[in-house]
Amino acid sequence: MVDITTLQSKVLAIAAQQLEKNNDQIDTVESLLSQGADELDCIEIVMRLEEQFGLEINDTDADLLTSVDAIVEYLQKHTKE
């Protein structure tokens, strides 16, 4: 199983860069949309996750990846890194 701290760090870095914020400005529980992301930002984040982790995330799953914690939980289940 992938280390949760490592996953969270990687996801925070991706989200923060996309939202042009520092990692410590991102709340891991709160929805990314409520933190300034728009739909395009969310699509870009999913694309970067796919690239970073070698995954293909379908649209149904992508719609559920609303927060850093939700993304980390998804990645824990779907990566073997």
Instruction: Please give the structure tokens belonging to residue 69.
Output: 């914690």
In eight-state DSSP terms, residue 25 is G
Does the active-site annotation cover 27? Answer: no
The catalytic residue among 3, 38, 61, 63 is 38
CA dist 14 → 53, 62, 69 (Å): 12, 15, 13
Residues 21 and 73: their CA atoms lie apart, in Å, by: 22
Q: Hey, which residues are catalytic here?
A: 38
